Structure 1
Amino acid sequence: MVSISLCMIVRNEEKVLGRCLACVQGFADEIIIVDTGSTDRTKEIAFSFTDKVYDFKWKDDFAAARNFAFSKGTGDYLFWLDADDVVRQEERRKLMDLKRRLDDERPDVVMLKYAVGYDGDGAPSFFFYRERLLRRCGKAVWKGRIHEAVEPFGKVVREDIMIEHRKVGTGDPDRNLRIFEQMLREKGKLSPRDQYYYGKELYYHRRYRDAASVFSEYLELPDGWREDRVDACRHGAYCMYRIGDRDRGLKFLLSGLSEGIPKPELCCDLGWWFFSAGRYRDAIFWYGQAVQAGKLTGEDGFVMPECRGYIPYLQMCVCYDRLGEWKMAERYNELAERCRPGTETCQLNRKYFEKRKEQQIEWIQ
């Protein structure tokens, strides 16, 4: 069986590090912990799991820290996690099965799902694929001071295994923006990928005009991953809504259509634009497209599973209700309920439609 080195960078993670490391015991043959300046019990906790704990002076460069951690790994494959990541029991079983198969399949890069958003019940509602296991070689190199990544190489496979990012606390909310602005002072410009993520950080900091400007500049560049470009269109629209410019918001969304078959998330955004304008039949069209697009576009980029069924069906229910077409409204509520059985919203809608039927009977009598 292949050997796997878990390589992590940490700082002040005493609340979550033990939880994370306990999740992968038995999967990781070697645990490498690189501490970038903790002042709490993080290193003490790390030493309770491994004796391979190293110090690395933080210099606002995530790739440098991760590459240092990778340099210490000796396994056939290098595996990374953040300290606030969690692997649930069923996913652990899948990981162990993957480990047994790696001997025969020998991929260079294994992409796993990474959940970073959750619904009201705590179930993953937003995920994307990330390079998670990499064959130890000269190509397994992190790039990017912020939002760092390893460019996939060789034989790349995807596995239906979910790693969940379960953050505790806020950390330093200004760190990423601070690093980007330092990069701008040093270089005068950013790479296309960094430009995209810089726009996202400005958006998170509610600097909506600045963010929209950065997204617009990014979309004018010839390079850039299609999924990032679509997401930039969506977030550009959100910026416009925040400053009260719905028309420019629509222009951002429509520019996303130039990237190819629209993803369900973009279709839902277009549906919402028309819905909020009271144009319910136009909204129904786009929500219907969201359902169809989910069958065509796969799971590249950022995925919100509820945009592939539950949300568009529920919104179509509301649209038909506003149009006075209650049988159609009831039908789409039931379709939404099939996507997420037992939701309070669908149950309340059922009561609403039952009450409406009773009122209609009383009116007839």
Structure 2
Amino acid sequence: MITISLCMIVKNEEARLPVCLKSVADLADEIVIVDTGSTDRTKEVAAEFGAKVYEFAWREDFAAARNFSFSLATCEYILWMDADDVFTEPNRAKLLRLKQELSSDIDAVLMNYVLHEEEQTGAPLAFTRRNRLVKRSRNYRWIGIVHEYLDVADGKQLLTDIAVTHRGTGSHSGRNLKIIEHHLASGGVLQGRLRFHFACELADAGRYEEAVPHFAEFLLDPKANRDDLILACARLADCYGFLGRERQKLETLLRSLQFHTPSSEICCAIGNCMEDRQEWAMAIYWYGQAIQNANVGSWTAIVHSASRTWLPHSRLCLCYAQLGHLRQAYEHNREALRYLPEDPGLLENEKKLKLALETASTS
């Protein structure tokens, strides 16, 4: 069985930290909490869970704080979390099994990171994957003042179905934007992923005109990774949409096809553009591709469950109805209902389409 150091950086998390630690403390052999300037009871709460608590003078750099936390770990593997993350009961069991069975030649373990979940069932609505558990002896480092990531490119990685669920509320966009702008004001430069994240933060702040050239510049970066390039196309297309530049929106979505087989998310976005143009046959093609490509993606791409389940069927229902193909519309609505059996809009569609088909068969 491996040993695990849980390493976290926190600030003013007295309310959320207990929920996080209750979900994982008994599975960690060591808890390292690095406080970056709390003014509440965060440090006392951490100590109540047996954590080793350290202070770190915040310097507008998340990677620096996380690297400091990693430097304090003493166990074989390091697990990292944020205070608004939890392991649900099924995933606690999976983590325990991993701890008992993990092969010593594994350097990094990827786990799902659930970004949004369905309120009633807890089913993931959007998720990605992160290198969540890493071998301490490899001395992996965090990179990036915001949206930091672990560089484990040279290690042996294991993909698992274990999930960490994000239960935070609100957006950190304003905070991250301030950090990047402070970096620039202090003489720092935009390069690589930092330019991409700056563009995303500008877009999240509604500063679409400012975001556009930064996305465009990032898309010319020969060192950018594929997932970032595809996401940059999607985010740039969104900016063009908000700016009313529909032709450039579609062109940018199509540009993403040069990087990889289009994911369901990209296919649905292109299908939506075709709907806006009332090009129903083309919309049908792209929504059909969304269904066909439901398993397309990489280990770290962001997955929106709707685009891979009910959404393309729902849109195909509308498109076929526009062309007068009521049988196909009815069948796709039924497929959408398999995923959302109590959705009032889909149930109403079923009634209307069934009536229309019955009327057509007797006329």
TM range (shorter): over 0.9
- Residue aligning to 1:118: 117
> In the aligned structure 2, how far is the partner of 1:10 from the partner of 1:173?
17
Residues 32 and 50, structure 1, Cα contact 8 Å, conserved in 2 = no
Counterpart code for 1:85: D
- Residue aligning to 2:263: 263
Please report how far the alpha carbon of residue 315 of structure 1 lies from its aligned counterpart in structure 2 after TM superposition: 0.8
- Residue aligning to 1:99: 99
- Please report the TM-score for the alignment, with normalisation by the length of structure 2: 0.94
Structure 1 position 162 matched with structure 2 position 163: yes
- Residue aligning to 2:6: 6
Number of matched residues? 361
Please report how far the alpha carbon of residue 339 of structure 1 lies from its aligned counterpart in structure 2 after TM superposition: 3.5
- Residue aligning to 1:198: 198
- Taking structure 1 as reference, are residues 335 and 98 closer, same or farther at Cα in structure 2, changes over 3 Å only? same
> In the aligned structure 2, how far is the partner of 1:270 from the partner of 1:300?
22
> In the aligned structure 2, how far is the partner of 1:55 from the partner of 1:11?
10
Residues 15 and 168, structure 1, Cα contact 8 Å, conserved in 2 = no
- Residue aligning to 2:230: 230
Secondary structure, aligned partner of 2:219:
helix
- Residues 76-120 of structure 1 deviation map (CA, whole Å, 9 limit, x = unaligned): 100000000011111111111111111x35410001011112346
> In the aligned structure 2, how far is the partner of 1:132 from the partner of 1:62?
16
Counterpart code for 1:318: L
> In the aligned structure 2, how far is the partner of 1:51 from the partner of 1:296?
41
- Residue aligning to 1:23: 23
Structure 1 position 295 matched with structure 2 position 267: no
- Residue aligning to 2:307: 307
- Residue aligning to 1:49: 49
- Taking structure 1 as reference, are residues 51 and 165 closer, same or farther at Cα in structure 2, changes over 3 Å only? closer
Secondary structure, aligned partner of 1:174:
helix
> In the aligned structure 1, how far is the partner of 2:268 from the partner of 2:119?
19
Residues 183 and 190, structure 1, Cα contact 8 Å, conserved in 2 = no
Secondary structure, aligned partner of 1:50:
coil
CA RMSD of superposed structures (Å): 1.8
> In the aligned structure 1, how far is the partner of 2:86 from the partner of 2:105?
25
- Residues 280-305 of structure 1 deviation map (CA, whole Å, 9 limit, x = unaligned): 11001001111122234455411112
> In the aligned structure 1, how far is the partner of 2:181 from the partner of 2:346?
46
> In the aligned structure 1, how far is the partner of 2:24 from the partner of 2:40?
23
Counterpart code for 1:117: H
Name stretches of at least 5 consecutive residues in structure 2 with no aligned partner.
none
> In the aligned structure 2, how far is the partner of 1:28 from the partner of 1:219?
41
- Please report the TM-score for the alignment, with normalisation by the length of structure 1: 0.94
Structure 1 position 65 matched with structure 2 position 65: yes
Structure 2 matches for 1:306-325, cutoff 5 A? 306-325=306-325
Secondary structure, aligned partner of 2:137:
coil
> In the aligned structure 1, how far is the partner of 2:64 from the partner of 2:41?
24
Counterpart code for 2:7: C
Counterpart code for 1:282: M
- Residue aligning to 1:272: 272
What's the % identity of the aligned pairs? 39
- Residue aligning to 2:285: 285
> In the aligned structure 1, how far is the partner of 2:308 from the partner of 2:149?
28
> In the aligned structure 2, how far is the partner of 1:349 from the partner of 1:228?
38
> In the aligned structure 2, how far is the partner of 1:300 from the partner of 1:64?
23
- Taking structure 1 as reference, are residues 51 and 267 closer, same or farther at Cα in structure 2, changes over 3 Å only? closer
Counterpart code for 2:159: R
- Residues 108-147 of structure 1 deviation map (CA, whole Å, 9 limit, x = unaligned): 0001011112346553211111010000025321111111
> In the aligned structure 1, how far is the partner of 2:212 from the partner of 2:116?
23
Secondary structure, aligned partner of 1:37:
coil
- Residue aligning to 2:132: 132
Counterpart code for 2:111: L
Please report how far the alpha carbon of residue 208 of structure 1 lies from its aligned counterpart in structure 2 after TM superposition: 0.5
Residues 25 and 49, structure 2, Cα contact 8 Å, conserved in 1 = no
- Taking structure 1 as reference, are residues 61 and 298 closer, same or farther at Cα in structure 2, changes over 3 Å only? closer
- Taking structure 1 as reference, are residues 260 and 86 closer, same or farther at Cα in structure 2, changes over 3 Å only? same
- Residues 321-351 of structure 1 deviation map (CA, whole Å, 9 limit, x = unaligned): 1222111001111122223444333323222
Secondary structure, aligned partner of 2:96:
helix
Counterpart code for 1:108: D
Name stretches of at least 5 consecutive residues in structure 1 with no aligned partner.
none
Residues 16 and 168, structure 1, Cα contact 8 Å, conserved in 2 = no
Q: Which moved more, 1:307-316 or 1:90-99?
A: 307-316
- Taking structure 1 as reference, are residues 70 and 175 closer, same or farther at Cα in structure 2, changes over 3 Å only? same
